[in-house]
Structure formats: C-alpha cells, structure tokens
C-alpha cells in the first residue's frame, strides 16, 4: 500500500483512540525503511547559563506558568529545531538536600555525574534514578550549545550515547526506572531518554510507551505536549501514538474561548504532528490565527509566539502556505526586525521565501541579515542568512556574496545542512569553478563518511546519497555546461549503480530518483534497458515529484548528448512511460503544485505543446485557480511561455491576483507576469492590471536591475501603460550611466547586447507611442551597426510570397525585400501603389532609410504596403495569437502610415491554397481587406 494512503487511513481513524499495538511492528517498519527516521537537530545559538535557565523553568507545571515566560520557546525558533530541553523538570524531590539529587543537578559532565553515583553507597531510589536521567539530558543539551556547525554536533550526539553506555551504572538506572514508574514522570522520562539517545525500540522505552497509552486520558496538556516531541516521524506505531495524543489535547482545549496560550501550544502540537493533520484541521488552524489577527489579540511582546505560528505554517503547508494570513503575520514584524535574534531572522526569511509577500519586508530582512552574518560562526545560520541576502540581490552585491560563500564553504558541515548554501549559489548564478568544485567535493566527502557509518536499513543509504545527487542534478549551471565536475559525476554514478542492485530497488520513489541521475550523466551508449524495466514494473506508484525528477534527468541527457543515436530509442521509451504516468496522475485529485510540476516535467523532456496531453495539463490548471499565489505564478507563466500556449482563464486569474495584492507582490513576480504577457501577446481584460503593475514597478524601480526594469517598461509600453514619470526616469543621464556601470560590472557580451536591444526597442516605442514626451531617438548609429553586423537574409517563405506578389503586381521590380522603416522596424516585403492603384517603382528605401521621423502625411500621395510574413514561431500554438513584439511591430508600422499585410505560414501552406492561383487570391483578399479597414478607420 502506498505510504500516502496509509497516512490517509490514519487520519480517518483518529475518531477512535488507539490503546494498544503490536510491538513487532517497531522492527518491521524500521527495517522496511518506509518511514523517515528522526535526525539530530542543529544546535541552538542561544546562550544559556548552565542549568540555571532549565531550573528556572522546572517549577512551571501549568500552561499559564510555562507560557508566561517568553524565553520558554527561545530554542523552538531555531530553523527546523523543536528542542524540548526547556520543558524538562529538573527538581523532583522536596527534600532533595538530604539525598544526592542536589549533587546530580550540579553535575556538568558525564564523568562528574557517574562519579557522584559511585560515591553514593546506598541503592538509588526512583526519584534519584529519574534525576540522573534528567541531568544527563541537561548535560547533553548544554554541551551542544558550544558547537559551531552541525557536523561537530552530530558527531557529539553519536559519541555522547556511547560514552553513557560505557558506564555499567547507567543500566542499573534503567532497571530502576523500568521496575517503578509513576504517571507524572512518564512523559518527562521518555523525553529525556529520547534526547540521550535511547531508541524507541529499547525494552524500557517500549514499556514506558505502553504505560503512556494505557493512561493517556489521565495526562494533563503539558505532559501530552511533552510526549508529542518524542514521537516525531518515527514509525507507524509513532503515528498511532500521535493520534491518541492529538485526540486527548483536543478534548482538553476549549476552542470556543481559545486563548493566546492555547493557540501557542496548539501550534507546537501541530508542528510536531503535521503528518497526521487533516486539510480541514489545517484550515481551521489558519482561521484561528486570522481571527486573532483581526481582533488584534497579539501584543508587541508576542514575537516568539508569532514565529512559532509561522514555523507551524511552514510545516503544515509545505508548498501552499495560506498567503493572506502568512503575510498579515509577517507584517507585524516590519517594525520589529531589529529585535529579532539571528535564528529568529533566519526563520522569518525562510517563511518569506516560501510566500514572497509582503515585498516591504524583504529590504528590512536583508539589512538585518547583512549585520548579523559576519558575527555568526554557525554554518547553518550563516548559510540561511546568505540565502536571504542572495535573493533578488543587486549586481553590485553578488560579487561580495560570492566571496562570502567561498568563506562559508570551508566551514565543516554535513551534506544535509548544505541546502541553504546550495540555493544561495543558484540565486547568485555562480560560475566560479574553484568555489563550485570545493562545494561539491566537500559534499561527496561528507556522503562517503556517512555511508561508512550508516545503518543497514532499506533505503537509508539511498537517502544519504540523495543529499548529494538531488542537488547536483538541479545545479543551475549543469544544463549550460559552464560548471561540471566530471570526476564527481562518475563517482556518484558508480555508487548509485551498486546501490540500485540492492534491496532499495523495491521502493519505487527511491529507484526513480537514482535512475534519473544515471540517465542524466551516463554516456549515450551506457544507458541501460534494466533501468526502464525497473520503472515500468512499479509505474503505478510513481508520484508527481518522481516524474519531475526523471524528466530533469532526461533534459540533462538530451542536452549533453545531442547526437546520441544509440540511446535515442531508449530515451523515447522513457518519455512514453512518463507521459503515461502523467496522464494517470491527472485522473486523481491533485493540487496546483502537482499540475505545475507535471507540466514542467513534460516540457523539459521535450514534450510537444500541440499534443493532447499538454491540453489536458493546461485544462487541469483551471480546477485550482484559487490556489494561485506569488510563488506559483512564476513557474506557471514560464511553462506557458516556453510552450507558446495561450490559456486566457489562467492568465485572467493571475492578473486578478496582481490587482488584489498590488501592495504586497514583489517586482520579481510582476516582471515575470509582464514579460510572459508581452511574449504571448496577451492583453488582460481589466484596465486595473496596468495600474497595479505601474504601482509595483514604481515602488521597486530603485532596487530592480536595469535589464529587469527595461523588460517591465517595454511590456507596459505594449499595454500602453507607461507613465510620464517612468519614461523620464529611464531616459535620463543617471539611468543611462547606471546601465553602463551594470554592463561593465557583469562584463558579459550577451548581457550587454540584450540590454542595449531592450533600450533601443523601448526608445522606439516611446518615440512612436508617446511623442508628447519629446524623448529623442538616439539609436540611429546603433541600428546601423547592427544591420551591418547581422544583415537579414530572405527566407524561402519570404521568397515564395515575393514570387506570388510579383505575379499580382506584374513585375518583381515593384517589390523590395528586407527594408526598414523609420526607427528601424524590419519589413519583410514592401511595395507601393498610387491613388489610382497602379504599382509604383520607387527608389529602394528612398524615404525610409534616412532615419527621419516619417508621419502619415508623408504618404498622402501613395499607399505604402508592408508585407510581414509570419512563420509558426510568431504566434501561439493553440489559438494562433500573434506574439506581443510582432503586435507592437504592426502597431508602429500602422502609426507611420503603412498598410500592413500579415501572411501566416499556416494559411499560406494550407490545403485550401495549394495552387499558385489560390495563393494569389489569398494575397489579393488580404490587401483589399487592409485597404478597406485602414481607409475606413
């Protein structure tokens, strides 16, 4: 049975608490490798004064007392860290002065603690045994705080338990606890034992677990919250226990009069048990938070509580966060950024990157991150702050961040903690070979060391390998081939080939991801039929992320081995298999993110937009228009732009979202929307869309790159939405100097040519569409140089149209190919006729190539026709809408007095106009229609 279906059954069965289970399932599910095992968390950067802070929390045994101290959750805020040491009781006996409990509490090392136990001649009682366990847990926690990186942290965790187990007295303590255990001590003991490193499969933990289940209804809320930390993603048995905990907490919380304290602890519970929370309960939780926001029940001192809520959102909604509520919570931090610790700032920035709203928060986050990043030695924290700085970074800052990344990569780290650094490298688009080589070399060495120590569990080795290859295959420069480390690729291929032959081949998702890497970086003649057979056998269990990953492998292989004839047939079989799986998944209830991933996968494996499957993928978007948020918009539009496919319903939903959230959406999102609409030639129905885009561009123009701003302005010109203020901001000496500085700094010929072309096109548009602004045309020399460097060669299509046209006009001398209008709009074919309709033999470009501003009055004595031949690359696949640049070309030529005739390739070569005579009739109709329309206008 698929794992997702197992979880669905668990959620359904929550109405009946589980009171017993089969202990044998522990070992079965651990050996199966189906469920993730709990990994050690990264150390907090909080500074605790030995046991004093923990002792200060030990006497707080109620919700109100515990929540009253704002520092109680200080370490919960660390990224992905829900450390529960502050919830441990420390003082367990009233008359502890007369026993060894006081000495145990004051022990700050394992050696000191067991030395105290050895000096004590009397047998330990239950309270003293419990205190020994509590103190060991505190010692471990306090020692963790000194570690600067997670690699040292994990090594300490592994070493700590082995040192504790080397003392025989430890086993005597476990026997005492096993023989006698009281209800009030069950949960704290399980927390401490779990923190020390005692596995849930240990006999003692199983006994304690059974006792908890039998008396779970008698536990108070605090004990249940403590217990929830023990069972975080361990096994199916852990899920059963979570169900019981969840039901009991729900019974004890008054939801009709929910307090901030109860909401906080509900957040902790949801965070720990996010795998079993139903969609209805998630939405109910969002409703509670939004109600508190509307009623302004969060005070200025609730920073920690708000961060816990955001962290809970991140866990409950991995890819579809409730944007409206999330951004309302984040807006409360706008004036409180200076009060956040580095760890709190890290959590807030990671939440922002998941939502990309509100835009006013990002500059403040980056300002704070820049002040913290040099003061921290913690690898995870440093990379999280670098990730925050790298997002949307200005070109001047990117080089500085690249140097910072080079420093960070030299800090020892575990491969699983490199995700933020990897994302930062992608944001910065780094092509520094030495830096990239260092990053990947460190990663592969970490993998090897982990493999040498890993458990013999199905899928565990693959999980370690995935920490490397899942990142490498998505590294931004792999496709372009600018940075590739071939030795490391071959080393990983060797490791995966040996792993794929083991027992992991029975887990479809894992085998799919490994095969994806093998397909991507194997030579064409090394592709194996066995890989296809493994996938084909379990194709029904492949999910959307498996298909997306496999498609990425095919994309890399197709790019790296363009002329691979030997493997072409096998690659075609892989494509057909993935197409089948895609169509099969679309039959189920999916989400917008799944549809997006399936669409992206289909396109990158070179699927045809004209195929029926792509139409189904396009239609599937319509069911989930209410799930459109900023983080989805970019990928949706990129897919449709790459496919040259028009989907008006989706585009209108996106434009509505921009209008409704114009105060919060970022310029990155608006840039993608404007660029895509311009490319595809889509004009939104609501006029408010242009106003919303103007608002965002004007607000962000100071921080946008020159190229991005020019893109946005050109798209706004297409939509007739340029403002006077924006026009004069672009066409001024300061901005032109900024362009020159940016091109010089980036030092890329391709980038410079792109920026110059955009500026020329915008200059032309402003001169023609906004003559009242009196912006001069200053690209004459540039255009002349470009004509000389890249002369336009007539295509076969143009020559054939010219031949038919010359038959109509009576002589080919009347037709000119590849002429240019004022402001250098290219015209494929040009001819002129007098008022009497007789063709005129004009000197070639006599009035058109001198660069003067020609007005319609200059054509009063003649009719000049501009014939534009449109190949299939000029319009969308499905509804044949002309792309935006070509629509703008036609508009500008008409403004200059031309009669514009457009001939579509699909019409010219259709079966209806197969003969020469039919083609002549077609051209005559187009000419007459244009004459009638223009003169009527």
In a domain, 826, yes or no: yes
Decide if pLDDT at 928 tops 90. Answer: no
> How does strand 862-870 pair with strand 816-820?
unpaired
In a domain, 802, yes or no: yes
| Residue bearing the bigger pLDDT, 737 or 274 | 737
Task: Tell whether 912 and 820 lie within a shared domain.
Answer: yes
Tell me the pLDDT band of 936, cut-offs 50, 70 and 90.
low
In a domain, 508, yes or no: no
Q: How far apart are CA 874 and CA 316, in angstroms?
A: 44
In a domain, 909, yes or no: yes
Task: Tell whether 775 and 800 lie within a shared domain.
Answer: no
Task: Tell whether 758 and 872 lie within a shared domain.
Answer: no
Best CA proximity match to 799, nearest among 846, 867, 873: 867
| Residue 412: strand, helix, or coil | coil
> For 747-783, how does the pLDDT look when each residue is reduced to its tens digit (9 = 90+)?
788 889 999 999 999 999 999 999 999 999 999 999 9
Task: Tell whether 798 and 756 lie within a shared domain.
Answer: no
> For 131-142, how does the pLDDT look when each residue is reduced to its tens digit (9 = 90+)?
888 888 888 777
User: Of 773, 790, 807, which residue constitutes the final position of a domain?
Assistant: 790
Q: How far apart are CA 252 and CA 295, in angstroms?
A: 24
Which two tokens mark 43?
């150390």
Rounded to 5 degrees, φ, ψ at 862 are -140, 165
Task: Tell whether 810 and 931 lie within a shared domain.
Answer: yes
What does the CA dihedral 680, 686, 691, 696 come to, rounded to 10 degrees?
Answer: -60
> For 53-104, how does the pLDDT look when each residue is reduced to its tens digit (9 = 90+)?
233 333 333 333 433 333 334 333 333 333 333 344 444 444 445 567 888 8
Best CA proximity match to 381, nearest among 406, 414, 430, 347: 347
> For 521-537, how does the pLDDT look when each residue is reduced to its tens digit (9 = 90+)?
888 778 888 899 989 98
pLDDT at residue 674, rounded to an integer = 96
In a domain, 808, yes or no: yes
Best CA proximity match to 186, nearest among 141, 226, 158, 147: 226
Tell me the pLDDT band of 495, cut-offs 50, 70 and 90.
confident
The mean pLDDT of the chain is 80
> For 314-368, how does the pLDDT look when each residue is reduced to its tens digit (9 = 90+)?
888 877 778 889 999 999 998 889 888 888 898 899 889 888 899 999 999 999 9
> For 674-719, how does the pLDDT look when each residue is reduced to its tens digit (9 = 90+)?
999 999 999 999 999 999 999 999 999 998 999 999 999 999 999 9
Task: Tell whether 819 and 727 lie within a shared domain.
Answer: no
> For 551-573, how does the pLDDT look when each residue is reduced to its tens digit (9 = 90+)?
999 988 888 776 667 778 889 99
Angle, CA of 900, 906 and 909, to the nearest 5°: 100
Decide if pLDDT at 850 tops 90. Answer: no
pLDDT at residue 451, rounded to an integer = 78
The residue segments making up the domain with residue 862 are 792-844+858-936
In a domain, 545, yes or no: no
Task: Tell whether 818 and 868 lie within a shared domain.
Answer: yes
Instruction: Assign residue 644 a region (left: φ > 0; alpha: ψ between -120 and 50; beta: otherwise).
Output: left
Task: Tell whether 759 and 881 lie within a shared domain.
Answer: no
What average pLDDT does this structure show over 214-242?
80
Task: Tell whether 737 and 808 lie within a shared domain.
Answer: no
Task: Tell whether 915 and 925 lie within a shared domain.
Answer: yes
| Residue bearing the bigger pLDDT, 478 or 448 | 448
In a domain, 727, yes or no: yes
Q: How far apart are CA 33 and CA 43, in angstroms?
A: 26
Beta bridge partners of 863: 833
Task: Tell whether 913 and 887 lie within a shared domain.
Answer: yes
> How does strand 862-870 pair with strand 899-904?
parallel
pLDDT at residue 88, rounded to an integer = 46
pLDDT at residue 280, rounded to an integer = 87
In a domain, 732, yes or no: yes
| Residue bearing the bigger pLDDT, 276 or 77 | 276
Q: How far apart are CA 884 and CA 891, in angstroms?
A: 10
pLDDT at residue 666, rounded to an integer = 92
Task: Tell whether 769 and 806 lie within a shared domain.
Answer: no
Work out how many domains the chain is built from and give that number: 2
């Amino acid at each position: 049975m698929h794992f997702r279906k197992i979880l669905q059954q668990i959620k359904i069965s929550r109405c009946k608490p589980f009171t017993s289970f089969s202990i044998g399932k522990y070992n079965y599910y651990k050996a199966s490798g189906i469920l993730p095992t709990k990994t050690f968390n990264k150390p907090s950067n909080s500074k605790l004064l030995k046991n004093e802070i923990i002792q200060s929390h030990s006497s707080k045994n109620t919700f109100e007392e515990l929540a009253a101290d704002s520092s109680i959750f200080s370490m919960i805020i660390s990224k992905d860290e829900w450390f529960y040491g502050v919830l441990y009781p420390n003082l367990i006996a009233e008359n502890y002065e007369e026993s060894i409990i006081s000495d145990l509490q004051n022990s700050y090392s394992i050696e000191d603690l067991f030395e105290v136990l050895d000096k004590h001649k009397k047998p330990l009682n239950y309270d003293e045994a419990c205190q020994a366990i509590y103190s060991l847990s505190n010692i471990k926690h306090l020692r963790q705080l000194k570690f600067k990186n997670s690699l040292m942290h994990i090594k300490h965790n592994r070493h700590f338990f082995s040192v504790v187990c080397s003392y025989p007295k430890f086993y005597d303590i476990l026997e005492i606890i096993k023989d006698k255990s009281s209800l009030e001590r069950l949960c704290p003991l399980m927390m401490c034992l779990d923190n020390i490193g005692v596995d849930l499969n240990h006999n003692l933990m199983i006994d304690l677990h059974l006792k908890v289940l039998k008396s779970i209804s008698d536990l108070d809320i605090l004990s249940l919250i403590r217990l929830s930390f023990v069972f975080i993603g361990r096994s199916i048995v852990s899920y059963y226990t979570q169900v019981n905990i969840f039901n009991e907490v729900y019974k004890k919380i008054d939801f009709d009069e929910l307090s901030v304290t109860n909401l906080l602890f509900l957040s902790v519970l949801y965070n720990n048990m996010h795998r079993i929370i139903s969609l209805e309960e998630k939405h109910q939780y969002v409703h509670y938070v939004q109600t508190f926001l509307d009623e302004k029940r969060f005070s200025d001192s609730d920073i920690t509580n708000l961060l816990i809520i955001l962290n809970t959102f991140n866990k409950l909604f991995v890819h579809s966060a409730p944007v409206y509520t999330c951004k309302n919570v984040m807006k409360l931090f706008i004036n409180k950024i200076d009060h956040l610790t580095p760890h709190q700032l890290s959590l807030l920035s990671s939440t922002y990157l998941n939502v990309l709203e509100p835009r006013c928060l990002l500059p403040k986050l980056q300002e704070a991150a820049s002040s913290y990043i040099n003061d921290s030695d913690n690898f995870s924290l440093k990379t999280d702050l670098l990730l925050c700085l790298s997002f949307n970074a200005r070109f001047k800052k990117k080089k500085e961040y690249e140097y910072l990344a080079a420093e960070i990569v030299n800090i020892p780290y575990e491969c699983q903690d490199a995700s933020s650094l990897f994302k930062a490298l992608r944001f910065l688009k780094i092509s520094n070979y030495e830096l990239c080589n260092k990053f990947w070399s460190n990663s592969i060495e970490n993998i090897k060391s982990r493999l040498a120590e890993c458990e013999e569990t199905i899928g565990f080795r693959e999980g370690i390998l995935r920490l490397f290859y899942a990142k490498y295959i998505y590294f931004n420069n792999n496709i372009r081939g600018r940075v590739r480390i071939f030795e490391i690729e071959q080393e990983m291929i060797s490791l995966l080939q040996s792993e794929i032959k083991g027992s992991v081949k029975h887990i479809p998702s894992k085998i799919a991801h490994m095969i994806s890497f093998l397909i991507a970086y194997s030579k064409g003649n090394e592709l194996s039929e066995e890989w296809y057979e493994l996938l084909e056998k379990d194709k029904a269990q492949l999910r959307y992320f498996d298909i997306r990953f496999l498609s990425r492998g095919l994309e890399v292989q197709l790019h790296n081995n363009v002329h691979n004839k030997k493997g072409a047939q096998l690659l075609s079989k892989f494509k057909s298999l993935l197409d089948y799986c895609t169509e099969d998944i679309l039959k189920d209830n999916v989400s917008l993110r799944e549809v997006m991933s399936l669409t992206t996968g289909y396109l990158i494996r070179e699927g045809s937009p004209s195929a029926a499957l792509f139409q189904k993928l396009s239609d599937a978007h319509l069911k989930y228009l209410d799930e459109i948020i900023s983080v989805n918009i970019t990928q949706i539009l990129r897919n449709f732009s790459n496919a040259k496919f028009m989907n008006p319903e989706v585009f209108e939903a996106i434009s509505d979202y921009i209008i409704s959230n114009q105060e919060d959406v970022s310029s990155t999102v608006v840039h993608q929307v404007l660029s895509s609409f311009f490319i595809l030639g889509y004009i939104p129905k609501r006029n408010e869309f242009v106003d919303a885009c103007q608002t965002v561009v004007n607000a962000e123009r100071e921080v946008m790159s020159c190229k991005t701003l020019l893109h946005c302005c050109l798209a706004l010109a297409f939509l007739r939405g340029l403002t006077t203020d924006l026009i004069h901001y672009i066409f001024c000496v300061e901005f032109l100097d900024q362009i020159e500085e940016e091109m010089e700094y980036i030092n890329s010929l391709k980038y410079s040519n792109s920026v110059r072309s955009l500026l020329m096109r915008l200059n032309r548009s402003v001169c023609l569409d906004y003559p009242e602004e009196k912006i001069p045309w200053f690209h004459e020399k540039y255009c002349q140089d470009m004509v000389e460097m890249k002369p336009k060669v007539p295509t076969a299509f143009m020559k054939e149209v010219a031949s038919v046209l010359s038959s109509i006009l009576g002589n080919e001398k009347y037709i000119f190919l590849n002429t240019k209008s004022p402001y250098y709009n290219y015209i494929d074919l040009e001819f002129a006729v007098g008022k009497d309709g007789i063709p005129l033999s004009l000197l070639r470009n006599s009035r058109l190539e001198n660069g003067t501003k020609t007005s319609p009055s200059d054509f009063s004595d003649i009719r000049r026709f501009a014939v534009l031949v449109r190949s299939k690359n000029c319009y969308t696949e499905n509804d044949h809408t002309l792309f935006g640049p070509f629509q703008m070309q036609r508009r500008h030529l008409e403004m200059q007095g031309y009669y514009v005739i457009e001939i579509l390739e699909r019409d010219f070569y259709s079966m209806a106009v197969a003969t020469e005579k039919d083609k002549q009739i077609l051209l005559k109709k187009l000419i007459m229609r244009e004459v009638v329309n223009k003169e009527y206008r």
